[in-house]
């Protein structure tokens, strides 16, 4: 009987499995009302939730605005860049 083939798990599999954070970083130029509006538009947040994240960005320098699968996280970062926010992808802890 042949030995079973062991398929090594690749890094890519690992990257796809772990959740990813979409992080928005503070900048001194974007207006607070504008950032709030972008969060509502991109994520469908309520105004209250959007303001909470906007203030987190403003006061703490960054806010995790979404966590989930890599592909969707990339799409959100692209949308946020489209609105000129400083956004990055980070592996969730």
Binding stretches for other proteins (CB under 8 A): 27-31, 33-34, 37, 74, 77-78, 81-84, 86-89
Q: Which is nearer to other proteins, 28 or 44 (CB)?
A: 28
Q: Which is nearer to other proteins, 9 or 12 (CB)?
A: 12
The structure tokens listed for 19 are: 């959740």
Q: Rounded distance, CA 21 to CA 90, Å?
A: 5
Give the shortest CB-82-to-other proteins separation in angstroms.
Answer: 6
For 16, phi then psi, to 5°, come to: -75, -30
Give the shortest CB-8-to-other proteins separation in angstroms.
Answer: 20
Q: Count of H helices and E strands in the chain?
A: 4, 3
């Amino acid at each position: 009987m042949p030995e079973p083939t062991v398929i090594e798990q690749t890094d890519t599999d690992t990257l796809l499995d772990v959740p990813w954070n979409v992080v928005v970083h503070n900048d001194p130029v974007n207006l607070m009302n504008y950032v709030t509006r972008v969060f509502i538009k991109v994520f469908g947040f309520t105004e209250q939730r959007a303001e909470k994240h906007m203030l987190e960005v403003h006061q703490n320098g960054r806010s995790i605005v979404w966590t989930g699968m890599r592909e969707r996280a990339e799409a959100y970062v692209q949308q946020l860049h489209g609105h000129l926010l400083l956004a990055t992808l980070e592996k969730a802890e």
